[in-house]
Amino acid sequence: MTLTFDLYWSFRSPYSYLVTQRLVALEAAYDVRCNVRIVYPIAVRQADFFAHLDPLWVSYLMRDIVRTGEFLGIPIRWPVPDPVVMDFATRTYPAQQPHIHRLSQLGQLAAERGCGLAFIDEVSRVIWDGSVDQWHEGDHLTHAAARAGLELTEMDRVVAAEHERLDSAIKASQDAQRVGGHYGVPLMVFAGEPFFGQDRFDQLKWRLEQAGLARR
């Protein structure tokens, strides 16, 4: 029996990126399906979120993502450009964003077409692994989509035509995320039990094994 879990995931989350390759390997090796549910970053949902944080929150985050990447053997660098543009004077995030809505709606469309995990894996590598500056220019995303079995130009046309529907689907996932037990990403939910954070991957796998996870 194929086991299924939900993955709530954001293109702006370094920890979402850091867990994705393990989820790809899990799905490849075991009879399990990862149901990708794209959500908007907290900075988009709550524009002043970071304005009220203790500065140590950000400094620790930056140290921890580098350390976690080294520990996992996954290259990581803060993206150039950031998927979410910030007003540095106010530490808030303007409503008009040039990247994150397109990325998120492309991810939602990929998930609807059964390629969600492959798409977020390939695109997040381009954005986060430090090998590409200006990931939004040229053919970087085109090649990433192709590696996931998708055609970016056609997807962009669908996003332009159906952006309201895709936006509504993402917001429905945000509501379901809270029902699942947390508001952050990455969040994996299996059989009603939430596993928040990339460091809960091993516990997720352990619980799947208890439920009869079988190798392919």
At 141-173, the pLDDT tens digits run 999 999 999 999 999 999 999 999 999 999 999
pLDDT of residue 86: 84
At 73-83, the pLDDT tens digits run 999 999 999 99
71 alpha-carbon distance from chain centroid? 20
**Average of pLDDT values for 123-143?**
98
d(CA 102, CA 196): 25
Residue 61 lies in a domain: yes
- Neighbour count for residue 156 (Cβ, 10 Å): 17
**Average of pLDDT values for 100-122?**
98
- Decide: 208 and 200 in contact? Cβ < 8 Å: no
> Is the peptide bond prior to 194 cis by the omega test (within 30 degrees of 0)?
no
Q: DSSP string of 131-177?
A: S-SSTTSTTHHHHHHHHTT--HHHHHHHHHHHHHHHHHHHHHHHHHH
Residue 216 lies in a domain: no
Residue 20, domain extent: 3-210
Instruction: Please give the tally of structural domains in the chain.
Output: 1
Residue 12 lies in a domain: yes
H or E element in which residue 193 lies? strand 193-196
CATH number at residue 155: 3.40.30.10
Chain-wide mean pLDDT for the chain? 96
Query: With 0-12 CB in 10 A as exposed, 13-18 as middle and 19+ as buried, what is 158?
Result: middle
Residue 44 lies in a domain: yes
Residue 215 lies in a domain: no
